[in-house]
Amino acid sequence: MIERLRNIEPVDLTTFTNELKEEIVARVSDKIPHLESSLAVAELTVALHYLLNTPEDLLIWDVGHQGYVHKALTGRMKALGTQRTKDGISGFLKRDESPYDFFGAGHASTSLSVLTGACIADAASGRERKRVAVIGDGSMTGGQSFEALNHLATLAGDALVVLNDNDGSIDPTVGALHESNSYSGYIQSLGWEYSYLETGNDVLALLDALKTVINRGGKQVLHIRTTKPQLKKSKSYQPGTTFQWWAAEQMRSILKSNNKLRVFSPAMFASSGFGPLRAEFPEQFIDTGINEPHTVTAAAGMAAAGGQACVHIYSTFLQRAMDQVIHDIALQNLPVIFLVDRAGLVGADGPTHHGVFDAGFLSDVPNATVWNPRNGDELQAMMAEAFSTQNLLEGPLFIRYPKAKTVCGTAENFESKKWISRQGSNSLLLSTGALSVWVESSVFDHLHVGQVKPLPQDLAQILKDYTNVLVLEEGIGTGGFFGAVAGLIADEDLEVKLVKRKISDKFTNHGNRHELLKELGLIP
């Protein structure tokens, strides 16, 4: 389709783009926000591929969630119905999927750093080509985008940044840069030339603006305004069926009795189920924009000042703030509570979003406490316990829960461990988190461990009664819950055969969460 596009007369591009959008909508039925983001930049995508000699010229997309039109133009139109399903194409960009996907994406604010590296590589090799990065106004709130703009301005060579401004990412864009609409002064202060186009959904106007800035050369930022179409959303989960719903309900109860608590999030309230709460308690929710390190240290500062701080963050984005977790919170014994959403396999979003790494690195953080609820009941009990005793904490507390359905019937007290079944076996199954529900009918004795750091004090005594111990964990590597149990067995010199069942040492692709868990041997 890319060759067909480049043979079209400019006057026919509007019709071509509209027909392209219609076909994409007909093929794509899931993940409406990603489809809306893609359609919002349809004209920009067409104009860029029309002008650039991709893949020889570089086209870099920030995040990559807006890449459906890009995929359609670059030979993947027929595969668009399979995106985000097992063995289908990715919902983001992947280098091994197409030569047109110069750089894999999934997390925000990285595109300008990628552009920087590409400019350095081309200068070193003497390669002449056009280099363009597309970044949204939401991603521009991320500190990494500033770092890259600041650095790239000092380098030789041409570079074009297209700032796609549609007032939001997952949550509405926040911050002084956006609210004061001061992009021009900000960008020019860093040594870039700035241009603005109000009609970013007009393909012919885009062609003219892009030609102008490309021909001008040097360091260029083209700021365009685009509008997302409002498509009919697919039916969401019914109330009371997911960990996210029960977390929000418990948080509502907590906030009603505690007006001093502040909940920080790096632009993820809406997708986490906390959107309605933010509207109900606007003073108690702090949206920092896409700034994970800043979010964590801001919460640390509040705790240091005697305030009560909570950080809501996806597991995959917590990775971006590990220095702050270690240095700014744990080292200083600050009592910050983390609600770690999307812990474990997330399903359709795939390897860029699976929350399988934090369990390992949190297990090595001194002064940290880590809890993994098995269902909605235990999640609510953990939250109630954590926030009622937050002033007694001597370090951060992490409550990790998956993007998954769950049940919640009767309130229960939080216990560090809970027997699921005792069959009189000489083999013990140790599980943690939501996996404990999947294997409740095990023929082994089965102990769910909700508190994985530190381990329950009497766990060593329990292990002495068994010959074989199988540890089941939705994490990767040798750390985490398994590593803690292995360390306990070694420290206590127990004569126990230890077997692990975890995610193997590789990146897990996208697909249905249940399918992935089964394929990895984590559930029967």
Q: What is the pLDDT of residue 411?
A: 60
One domain for residues 68 and 210: yes
- The verdict on whether omega for the bond into residue 293 sits within 30 degrees of 0, i.e. cis, is no
Q: Do residue 389 and residue 445 come from a single domain?
A: no
User: Is 382 within the bounds of a domain?
Assistant: yes
Verify that 161 and 111 share a domain, yes or no: yes
Distances (CA, A) of 276 to 281, 289, 295, 309, 492: 9, 18, 21, 20, 49
Contacts 24+ apart (CB under 8 A), 18-22: 20/46, 20/69, 20/72, 20/73, 21/69
pLDDT of residue 182: 82
Q: Which residues pair with 160 in a beta bridge?
A: 132, 220
pLDDT at position 236 is: 55
Q: Are both 292 and 178 inside the same structural domain? A: no
CATH of the domain at 490: 3.40.50.920
The answer to whether residue 238 sits within a structural domain is no
Q: How confident is the model at residue 233 (pLDDT cuts 50, 70, 90)?
A: low
Listed residues 192, 225, 258: the one ending a domain: 225
Mean pLDDT confidence for 342-348: 95
**DSSP code per residue over 92-109:** S--TTT-TT--S---STT
At 69, which helix (H) or strand (E)? Answer: helix 68-71
In a domain, 509, yes or no: yes
Residue 216: pLDDT band (50, 70, 90) is very high
State whether 395 and 442 are in the same domain: no
Q: Phi first, then psi: what are they for 270, rounded to 5°?
A: -60, -45
Same structural domain for residues 131 and 219? yes
Within-domain flag for 407: no
125 within a domain of the structure (yes/no): yes
Mean pLDDT computed over 480-503: 96
Q: Residue 239's pLDDT is what? A: 66
| Domain annotation covers residue 234 | no
Same domain, 366 and 318: yes
Sheet holding 261-265, edge to edge: 285-287, 261-265, 308-314, 337-341, 397-400, 369-371, 451-453
The answer on 483 and 391 residing in a single domain is no
Positive or negative, the CA dihedral 362, 364, 368, 371 is positive
C-alpha 287/C-alpha 301 separation (Å) is: 16
Identify the pLDDT of residue 168.
58
Comparing CA positions, the residue from 444, 411, 69, 42 lying closest to residue 250 is 411
Domains in the chain, number = 3
Q: How many helices (H) and strands (E) does the chain have?
A: 22, 17
Question: What's the CA gap between 13 and 4, in Å, rounded?
Answer: 11
In terms of domains, do 346 and 389 share one? yes
The tokens for 376 are 């909605």
Would you say residue 231 lies in a domain?
no
Q: Is 54 in the same domain as 82?
A: yes
Predicted pLDDT at 477? 83
Q: Is the dihedral of CA 228, 38, 83, 269 positive or negative?
A: negative
Q: What CATH number should be reported for the domain holding residue 259?
A: 3.40.50.970
**Band of residue 169 on the pLDDT scale cut at 50, 70, 90:** low
Query: Can you give the pLDDT at residue 29?
Result: 72
248's CB contacts (< 8 A; 6+ apart) are 272, 273, 274, 276, 277
- Buried b / exposed e across 416-443, counting CB within 10 Å, b at 16+? ebeebbeeebebbbbbbbbbbbbbeebe
Is 470 strand, coil or helix?
Answer: strand
Residue-level pLDDT at 442? 73
Q: What is the DSSP annotation of 187-247?
A: HHHTT-EEEEES-TT-HHHHHHHHHHHHHH-SEEEEEEE-----PPPPP-PPTTSBHHHHH
Place of tokens 């990715």: 90
Please determine, for residue 524, whether its predicted confidence score (pLDDT) is greater than 90: no
pLDDT, tens digit, 9 for 90 and up, residues 114-159: 999 999 999 999 999 999 999 998 899 899 999 999 999 999 999 9
Distance CA 313, CA 268 (A): 7
Residues 368 and 457 in one domain: no
Q: What's the whole-number mean pLDDT along residues 6-12?
A: 96
User: Domain range spanning residue 26?
Assistant: 2-225
Q: Judge whether 232 lies within some domain.
A: no
Question: Same domain, yes or no, for 508 and 377?
Answer: no
Contact 376, 407 (CB under 8 A): yes
* Residue (of 190, 115, 185) closest to 146 by Cα position: 190
Residue 26 has pLDDT above 80, yes or no: yes
pLDDT confidence of residue 141 = 87
